[in-house]
């Protein structure tokens, strides 16, 4: 793939006062322009799909790597020399404030979706400084770039911050809603709390149209394989076909509110279509344990998880989050959003996808190829 930059103009005015947001309509002749950080991730790829389908020009920020990490976008990508191409990728990093400022000025987005993060909770205990640099101060750097562009250009940029249910941590009430106090239990959760509150602060201080989506766990076949749901479904397919014998997990009694990422990105978009920025819990309002998720996924292929799952203490967190259950009443009432995919359908979708991957792996092995899962 090649990465190119593209400039485009918008004609949205910025808010005049910190306490009075005054959104202006975008001219129908000009497509909306979205800039997505974390576009190569699970959520970024689904969001890019959604926005392209709605007629947006979509720009994504990716980190430089010696190997391609754009597999989730391959089906969306068109050669940048194609005049009809509406997806453009740019090198950048949330740790680089100058780069963020330059990209905002070049792309001139009407909407910015900040999805980039070091998002693995367990890894955040091993890399707390890096996690804070990206997930906390990285948000501030991006907000500053957006604010400076607004003030210089007079154009409003609507901003979405990916907050997290992990901010609730040691939950103070069940279910958790927008007003529930935060008590994070990991460096990841702590960094996300800063990112959340600095976004709220910029909304209140500068009148920015900035919204925070407090998304509860959301999964899909595009989920990274080190995350527990995908780790489970990947193992289920391989075990079914004799490619793997055991699955090692940590705390399987942890309770989570799991939804489908494809449903949740629609809520992100809806937040930025409202007359003013706000914060919303996005959740299915149903909670099951990791153990129950194992029952669903193994059971889908006629297997008993107890024959294959073993507990490995190395996967326990230093401070556990025992349960997370969201109350999405506000999102239903204000945004008109509700999840369309049940956890049973989600589990089935992921197992079928990973069973097909296992079939391909076994076909290659049976043909004599050396395949590393």
Annotated active-site positions, please?
A: 164, 166, 188
Give CA–CA dist 227/225, Å, rounded: 5
Which residues, in sequence order, are CB contacts of 162 under 8 Å at separation 6+? 38, 43, 113, 114, 115, 117, 213, 215, 268
Peptide bond into 175 cis (omega under 30): yes
Output Rg (C-alpha) for the chain, integer angstroms.
Answer: 21
**Start-end of H helices in 224-314:** 228-240, 261-271, 290-300
- Structure tokens of 292? 């129950």
Q: How far is CA 309 from CA 17, 89, 295, 318, in A?
A: 57, 40, 11, 21
346 touches 232 (CB < 8 A): no
Give CA–CA dist 88/91, Å, rounded: 10
Give CA–CA dist 254/317, Å, rounded: 11
113 touches 271 (CB < 8 A): no
The residues that bridge with 37 in the sheet, in sequence order, are: 61, 114
Which residues, in sequence order, are CB contacts of 22 under 8 Å at separation 6+? 13, 15, 16
- Tell me how many degrees the CA angle 42-44-49 measures, rounded to the nearest 5: 100
Which residues, in sequence order, are CB contacts of 24 under 8 Å at separation 6+? 12, 13, 156
151 touches 14 (CB < 8 A): yes
323 touches 254 (CB < 8 A): yes
Buried b (16+ CB within 10 A) or exposed e, 96-131: bbebbbebbeebbbbbbbbbbbbbbbbbbeeebeeb
């Amino acid at each position: 793939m090649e990465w190119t930059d593209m400039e485009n103009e918008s004609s949205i005015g910025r808010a005049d006062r910190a306490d009075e947001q005054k959104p202006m309509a975008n001219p129908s002749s000009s497509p909306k322009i979205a800039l997505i950080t974390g576009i190569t991730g699970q959520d970024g790829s689904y969001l890019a799909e959604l926005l392209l389908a709605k007629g947006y020009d979509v720009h994504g920020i990716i980190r430089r790597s010696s190997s391609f990490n754009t597999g989730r976008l391959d089906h969306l990508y068109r050669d940048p020399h194609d005049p009809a191409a509406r997806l453009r990728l740019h090198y950048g990093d949330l740790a680089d404030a100058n780069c963020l400022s330059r990209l905002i000025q070049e792309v001139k987005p009407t909407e910015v979706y900040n999805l980039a993060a070091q998002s693995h909770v367990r890894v955040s205990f091993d890399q707390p400084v890096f996690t804070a640099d990206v997930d906390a101060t990285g948000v501030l750097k991006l907000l500053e770039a957006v604010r400076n562009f607004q003030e210089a250009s007079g154009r409003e940029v609507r901003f979405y911050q990916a907050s997290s249910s992990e901010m609730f941590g040691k939950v103070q009430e069940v279910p958790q809603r927008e007003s529930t106090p935060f008590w994070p239990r990991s460096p990841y959760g702590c960094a996300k709390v800063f990112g959340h509150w600095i976004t709220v602060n910029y909304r209140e201080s500068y009148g920015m149209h900035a919204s925070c989506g407090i998304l509860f766990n959301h999964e899909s076949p595009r989920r990274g394989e080190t995350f527990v749901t995908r780790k489970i479904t990947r193992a289920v397919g391989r075990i079914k076909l004799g490619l793997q014998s055991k699955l090692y997990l940590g705390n399987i009694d942890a309770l989570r509110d799991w939804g489908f990422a494809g449903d949740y990105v629609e809520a992100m978009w809806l937040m930025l279509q409202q007359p003013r920025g706000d914060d919303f819990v996005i959740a299915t309002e149903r909670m099951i344990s990791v153990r129950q998720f194992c029952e669903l996924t193994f059971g889908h292929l006629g297997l008993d998880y107890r024959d294959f799952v073993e507990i490995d203490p190395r996967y326990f967190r230093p401070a556990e989050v025992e349960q997370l259950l969201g109350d999405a009443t506000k999102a239903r009432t204000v945004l008109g959003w509700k999840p369309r995919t049940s956890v049973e359908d989600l589990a089935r979708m992921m197992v079928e996808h990973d069973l097909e991957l296992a079939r391909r792996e076994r076909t290659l092995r049976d043909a004599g190829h050396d395949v590393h899962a």
